[in-house]
A = this chain, B = another copy of it.
Amino acid sequence: MIRPIEDSDWPATWAIIEPVFRAGRTYVYSPEITEAKARSVWVNSPLATFVAEDKGEIIGTYYLKENQPGHGSHVCNCGYIVSEGARGKGIATAMCEHSQAEAAARGFRAMQYNLVVSTNEGAIRLWKKHGFKIVGTLPGAFRDPELGFVDAFVMFKQLGTEQGTDPEA
């Protein structure tokens, strides 16, 4: 079940987010980010934040926000994290589909991921499967703690088009 986050969900949500942020290999946030700042980024600043729950346990989370204000606000942005123990079970897929439906229901016309680290191959494969296209490559835009500067991709999908199809076709 994917549902809006509640205040009481934060500790379990932070437990999923923290190791990903601390690793610093897929999200730009400093590995030294405080819990309060992370909560601000993930829960307070976005339009909406959701959790994926299975048998009372929180196993994933995503946020939805406007990618730009004003004349760019018809494009949204999302970020997703699945708990380490729940990976490979389709949770990211479920959240990706949920986020697109949620965004379309809120009137967004498209979804943009601004900085998908090029080494994050599993995520890239998944977003492509869901109809996202790499529309840009940012040379060396991500500083990986092990590999140094690596490229990042901008990925984009028009919403309201059939899932998995090329929106330009």
Chain A residues in contact with chain B, CB under 8 A? 24, 27-31, 33, 68-75, 109-110, 112, 114-115, 135-145, 149, 152, 154, 156, 158, 167-168
Q: Which residues of B contact A143 (CB under 8 A)?
A: 71-72, 74
Contact of A139 with B149 in the complex, beta carbons under 8 Å: no
Closest chain B CB from A41 CB (angstroms): 9
Contact of B110 with A28 in the complex, beta carbons under 8 Å: no
- A152–B154 Cα gap in the complex (Å)? 13
- A100–B27 Cα gap in the complex (Å)? 26
Q: Which residues of B contact A28 (CB under 8 A)?
A: 68-73
Q: In the assembly, how many copies of this chain are there? A: 2
- A27–B72 Cα gap in the complex (Å)? 9
Q: Tell me the nearest residue of chain B to A150, going by C-beta.
A: B71
Contact of B136 with A158 in the complex, beta carbons under 8 Å: no
With A74-B143, A74-B149, A154-B154 as contacts: A69 and B29 at CB distance below 8 Å: yes
- A24–B73 Cα gap in the complex (Å)? 13
- A150–B18 Cα gap in the complex (Å)? 38
Q: Which residues of B contact A73 (CB under 8 A)?
A: 28
